Structure 1
Amino acid sequence: MRKMIKPALLLLVAVLLAMTAACGKSSKSDKLTTVKFSEVIRSIFYAPHYVAMSQGFFKEQGLNVDMNTAQGSDKGAAALIAGTADISMVGPETAIYIYNQKGGKTLKVFHQLTAVDGSFLLSREQIDNFQWKDLEGKTVIGWRPGSSPQMVLNSTLTQEQVAGAKVVTNIASTAMAGAFTSGQGDYIQVFEPVASTLVQEGKAYYAASLGEAFGPYPETSYVATSDYIKAHPDIITKFTAAVTEGAKWLGTASDEQIVAALKPFFDGTSDELILQSVNRYKAQGTWPTDPELTQAQFDVLQNVLVENGVLKAEDKIAKMEDVVDMSFVQKLGKAK
């Protein structure tokens, strides 16, 4: 009798041990590191990030991204300084502003997400063959002073020698479309999918792309405090890899896959408008295949800041490395 029971007990113990080991392995692999993340606004302009979330690229790297929307680069930078965000998606100029304040903390750009401005100029009345001179004597609902879209528009007006255009900069980003549809302004500067939505609803007409008009400009970056980057290089490495994978995926995915990936982040936006927005951004080279902020791009950025009066020429950052750390992007490129 004892000989019959013993094999059965051994089998039971073996099964229990295997189950315990499997559970332990699953628990370990499912353990994710939470990253407090702040995005500047919600826009398809940042599609690679949403793709990295919906397609599980962050989770594959062992990260759980806890995302909130700051509604402004200034607020995203403030969240980093206050410690309520670990990583922010903001304009790289915020790192320059904080550095020049000579405070206790500095910010560093570690990944360049976009290569041009992502806003579009819409008109109230349909204009055939729009010219920038058409803005003379007109009112444009624009972005807050010192923000990237506001500075790019202002620099474009200077570049195109447009005089007499009135740009309204005191309307909150979330209220701009409503202000325009209620009758304010002759033109409005908005991102996707708001631009395509207004056009589809017959409330505005497409006039121009600021990205195409102004040219290369490092508008949106991933930024963290120098202290966070130094303390968590593994997280920065994994975060960079996930977002880069998101950008690559957008270049090869089908229309149906792209819509499905972005839909959860743009509730109420039709499949048609999501795809149209993505294709419009693709056409103007929004998402670089190499997410490295170069010295040339950094020089363009600082020149725009000086031109717009938010940075004194003598306060330009002499060494880009003081506010930029591209080592994670560079290592990722070498690992390919």
Structure 2
Amino acid sequence: MIKPKKTAAALIVALLLVFAAACGQSNGPAAGGSPSAGASPDASASASASSSPSAEPGAGATVAPKELVTIKFSEVIRSIFYAPYYVAISRGFFADEGIKLDMNTAQGSDKGAAALIAGTADISLVGPETAIYIYNQKGDKKLKVFYQLTMKDGSFLLSRDKADAFDWGSLKGKKIIGWRPGSAPQMVMASTLKEKGADGANVVTNIAAPAMAGAFTSGQGDYIQLFEPVASTLIAQGKAYYVASVGETYGDFPETSFVATSDYIDKNPQVIQGFVNAVAKATEWLTQASDEEIAEALAPYFEGTPKERIVDSVNRYKNQDTWPAMPELTAAAFDKLQSVLIENGVLKSADKVADMNEIADMRFVQNIGKAG
């Protein structure tokens, strides 16, 4: 199996300068335009979206709209794995909190973190490990996790050939198209293969995220690790077969968080609280909404993806308890994160962060639902 030879900490620091300018730019329509997932359903090149007020069903009195504050927002990739915040946009939950998003798709947590450090993003959806890497650099800026969006890995293992049964040990010697070295899905896959006695698999980690599905359908690899809705799309097209949920197999893992610099959080606590409230409301809405309502809310962000495929994808994530009701980075989850980083050689034991509060600020999550 291919493993990273350098630490992800060094990789991300190098990328801060290389990608800082690019990460903050959006090639999509101006803020206020229609969101678009672009040509590739797993990750758009970039997108711009704004939340527009929409009345809640059954709402009685008309509420005067708040003056909207624009947040420069960077998402790691475009995926239904992150459904709650797309819902928060389309259902007007951000607008209810006085927030509008100017959204960009970074194509990697390293680039999303770079955008925060460079000031070209105010909030990024990235892996929480990026906050650890930046903290250990002892630079002028710190990143802090303020909302834990997902508590499972969001990828699924698909095979080229249909099999009646699957055993992880059968992956020895097989080629798997996987994610870049040091990324959360790559590390979770590596840890899963080791745990299941299949660390002899050949995991290809040098194919860019938007090109992975195309590489597989053109004949590369025996297996592929994909997020939704791309996984369900390839299955529906008969180009791949479902094998396993990596998230269900590995168990709880704090894969993706909303992160901002400590300076931005300190200067904009009301904005952060509003952001948290909106995403939490959207997460709850997803548990109660009908399939039709969910498809309608998410369709603008996944153009070209049939609505039934959107619903299938959401249900896969619901069934594995992807989105926690209490979106908090706990001490146990933080310990597991650091253990995975050490196991995968991207964090030295001596560099473990002893105090989680150095890279996390959970006070906003703890205030969800409280008046004022």
Q: Same fold (TM over 0.5)?
A: yes
Q: What residue is the counterpart of 2:135 in the other structure? A: 99
Summarize deviations over 1:152-197 as a string: whole Å, max 9, x none.
0000011111142000000000000000000000000000000000
C-alpha displacement at 1:127, in angstroms? Answer: 1.5
Q: What residue is the counterpart of 1:158 in the other structure? A: 194
**Match among 340, 345, 348 for residue 304 of structure 1:** 340
Shift of the 102–212 alpha-carbon distance from structure 1 to 2, 3 Å rule, reads: same
> Do the aligned partners of 2:156 and 2:245 also contact (CA within 8 Å) in 1?
yes
> Do the aligned partners of 2:153 and 2:188 also contact (CA within 8 Å) in 1?
yes
Equivalent positions of 1:319-330 (< 5 A) are 319-330=355-366
Q: What residue is the counterpart of 1:201 in the other structure? A: 237
Task: State the alpha-carbon separation in 2 of the partners of residues 97 and 333 from structure 1.
Answer: 32
Q: What residue is the counterpart of 2:309 in the other structure? A: 273
C-alpha displacement at 1:128, in angstroms? Answer: 1.5
Q: What residue is the counterpart of 1:115 in the other structure? A: 151
Task: State the alpha-carbon separation in 1 of the partners of residues 357 and 238 from structure 2.
Answer: 47
Asked if 1:73 corresponds to 2:109, the answer is yes
> Do the aligned partners of 2:88 and 2:278 also contact (CA within 8 Å) in 1?
yes
Counterpart secondary structure, 1:332: coil
Q: What residue is the counterpart of 1:86 in the other structure? A: 122
Aligned identity (percent) is 67
Q: What residue is the counterpart of 2:12 in the other structure? A: none
Counterpart secondary structure, 2:284: helix
Q: Higher helix share goes to which structure?
A: 1
Q: What residue is the counterpart of 1:143 in the other structure? A: 179
**Match among 22, 41, 51 for residue 87 of structure 2:** 51
- Two-structure CA RMSD over aligned residues (Å): 1.3
Q: What residue is the counterpart of 1:6 in the other structure? A: none
C-alpha displacement at 1:333, in angstroms? Answer: 5.1
> Do the aligned partners of 2:84 and 2:279 also contact (CA within 8 Å) in 1?
yes
Task: State the alpha-carbon separation in 1 of the partners of residues 100 and 200 from structure 2.
Answer: 49
Q: What residue is the counterpart of 1:31 in the other structure? A: 67
The gaps in structure 2 that reach 5 residues or longer are 1-61
Greater C-alpha radius of gyration: 1
C-alpha displacement at 1:30, in angstroms? Answer: 5.2
Summarize deviations over 1:74-121 as a string: whole Å, max 9, x none.
000000000000000000000001101111111000000001000000
Task: State the alpha-carbon separation in 1 of the partners of residues 65 and 235 from structure 2.
Answer: 46
TM-score for both structures, normalised by structure 1: 0.91
Counterpart secondary structure, 1:113: strand
C-alpha displacement at 1:285, in angstroms? Answer: 0.3
Summarize deviations over 1:226-255 as a string: whole Å, max 9, x none.
100011111000000000001000000011
